[in-house]
Amino acid sequence: MKRNYYLVGLILLIFFVISFLTNIIGPLVPEIIEDFDLSLTLVAVLPFAFFIAYGAMSIPAGLLIEFYSEKKIMVSAFLVAFGGALLFGLFPNYLIAIISLFLIGTGMAMLQVAINPLLREAGGEENFAFNSQLGQLFFGLASFLSPLVYSYLVINLDSGVTEGILLSTLAAVVPGELPWISLYWIFALVSLVMVVVILLSRFPEVERREDEKVGIFETLELLKQPMVWMFFLGIFCYVGSEQGVANWISEFLSTYHGYDPQTTGASTVSWFWGMMTAGTVLGLLLLKVMDSRRVLISFTAGALLCLTLALFGSGEIALYAFPAIGFLIAVMWPVIFSLALNSVRENHGSFSGILVTGIVGGAVVPLIVGSLGDVLGLRSGMFFLYLTFGYILSIGFWADPLVTNKTIEFSGREKKGKGKGRGKQGKEAHVS
């Protein structure tokens, strides 16, 4: 089909919006603790509610996509996210926050499942890897900007500055004592705008290859393999580590070094995501010249070192060490995911659904950190991250892919793999 660059641009915008709505929880943690008078465990339930939706919806969304068009799924996803954001904007309390974040997480999980096959169809299979990485850059850019938007809104609304249509409108609907609720009105508006944009856009018909489909039988067969569970745990530990750091940066800096969450805390979280974007670019270059397992080992060892500096160093060191962790973890998701898919010859759609379900680690690990933090202190609670990063480090030693540094896509016929194969099995893979 003719390349649809408008649709590619729309998908990149959706990557941006997903990230903007997903990674704002961390900067809000100190505000939520203070305004709702919560323990670390109770505040950790909020990201738990968001990321548990990924675990609940990833595979069902993959099955729904077989019966309904991408356009319908994407419109439904943004309507669910709009409802969740509006609900919390209207009724800002702790219980509603849990329900709201679960709804927003559900919408984001549905979008993640829908947009990747659509990106392949709209941008061309030969450009899929490049466009996917471009999507990750947009994802990182939004994560960098969202804490800055939070600081802008909260500082101005808190000080009574209401110049301009945006601030004056938000001041009229947001409780004066809870200026950070303004973000959820922004989320609702953005979600509604995306519904309109998608409805007005023309979508091609996507023909899914057998390898991209999520089948119940295939999924159950894969779950019988220990290797599948080991890679699932790898994704679980990665997302748990990412969110376990990002969600607690601002609170850690406030608790142990006295930094203002609205300014320094939000800025440090912003740089955490910004440095992750930079790390993605470096990772792409290194993966051209190094085995992905060696890259994973090197970067994970560096992340462990920076975590140690962040937890035990001075406040000034922590301001640099936390963003450095973001830089170093940038390669983990793509490397673990590719090593996993490159370890099987077929059923990659079902395997991908299982791996994406591992995003639930972003729910569980921050909750464990918060629970331990209530008992032992936040610094001691974050020791749990040594276990999750340690498991990621181990993957670099035990992973044994059929093809190295390539993505296997089963075609139903034998094609010679361009990567380093393991015996004759390497003949059944080709590079996307």
Query: If you write DSSP's letter for every residue of 131-144 in order, what string do you get?
Result: HHHHHHHHHHHHHH
DSSP state of 307: H
Tell me the C-alpha distance between 403 and 256, whole Å.
Answer: 46
Upper half-sphere CA count for residue 145 (Cβ side, 13 Å): 12
- Percent of the chain having pLDDT more than 70? 85
β-sheet bridge partners, residue 415: 428
Determine the pLDDT at residue 427.
Answer: 34
Tell me the C-alpha distance between 114 and 11, whole Å.
Answer: 10
How many CB atoms are closer than 10 A to CB 299? 24
Q: pTM above 0.85?
A: no
Token readout for 214 is 């999520």
* Lowest model confidence (mean pLDDT) among 274-283, 308-317, 400-409: 400-409
117, 6, 143, 120: which is closest to 61 by C-alpha? 117
Q: Which residue has the higher pLDDT, 167 or 431?
A: 167
Token readout for 21 is 């709505």
pLDDT at 372 over 90: yes
Q: Which residue has the higher pLDDT, 315 or 161?
A: 315
Tell me the C-alpha distance between 246 and 260, whole Å.
Answer: 16
Upper half-sphere CA count for residue 276 (Cβ side, 13 Å): 31
- 25 contacts 98 by C-beta, under 8 angstroms: no
C-alpha distance from residue 276 to each of 188, 235, 297 (Å): 27, 17, 17
Rg (CA), the chain: 21
Residues 6+ apart with CB under 8 A from 2: none
232, 205, 207, 238: which is closest to 350 by C-alpha? 232
C-alpha distance from residue 334 to each of 39, 135, 182, 244, 329 (Å): 34, 13, 34, 19, 10
- Percent of the chain having pLDDT more than 90? 37
Q: How confident is the model at residue 376 (pLDDT cuts 50, 70, 90)?
A: very high
C-alpha distance from residue 232 to each of 8, 108, 397 (Å): 29, 20, 16
Name residue, tokens 């960098």.
144
User: What average pLDDT is seen over the chain?
Assistant: 82
Determine the pLDDT at residue 225.
Answer: 83
Average pLDDT over residues 31-46: 87
Kind and range of the H or E element at 10?
helix 5-22
Tell me the C-alpha distance between 102 and 89, whole Å.
Answer: 15
Q: Which residue has the higher pLDDT, 197 or 330?
A: 197
24, 12, 42: which is closest to 370 by C-alpha? 42
pLDDT at 84 over 90: yes
* Lowest model confidence (mean pLDDT) among 53-57, 367-371, 376-380, 396-400: 53-57
Q: How confident is the model at residue 214 (pLDDT cuts 50, 70, 90)?
A: low
* Lowest model confidence (mean pLDDT) among 10-14, 225-229, 273-277, 346-350: 346-350
Determine the pLDDT at residue 426.
Answer: 38
Q: How confident is the model at residue 415 (pLDDT cuts 50, 70, 90)?
A: very low
* φ, ψ for residue 294, nearest 5 deg: -70, -40
Tell me the C-alpha distance between 115 and 77, whole Å.
Answer: 11
Give the type of residue at 219: T
Tell me the C-alpha distance between 374 and 322, whole Å.
Answer: 22
pLDDT at 223 over 90: no
29, 6, 160, 173: which is closest to 97 by C-alpha? 29
Q: Which residue has the higher pLDDT, 72 or 421?
A: 72
- For 236-285, write each residue's pLDDT tens digit: 999 999 999 998 999 999 999 999 988 899 899 989 988 988 887 887 78
Residues 6+ apart with CB under 8 A from 50: 22, 25, 101, 102, 104, 105, 362, 363
Q: How confident is the model at residue 50 (pLDDT cuts 50, 70, 90)?
A: confident
State the burial class of residue 168 (Cβ atoms within 10 Å of its Cβ: 0-12, 13-18, 19+): exposed
Determine the pLDDT at residue 401.
Answer: 79
Tell me the C-alpha distance between 29 and 261, whole Å.
Answer: 9
pLDDT at 95 over 80: yes
- 430 contacts 409 by C-beta, under 8 angstroms: yes
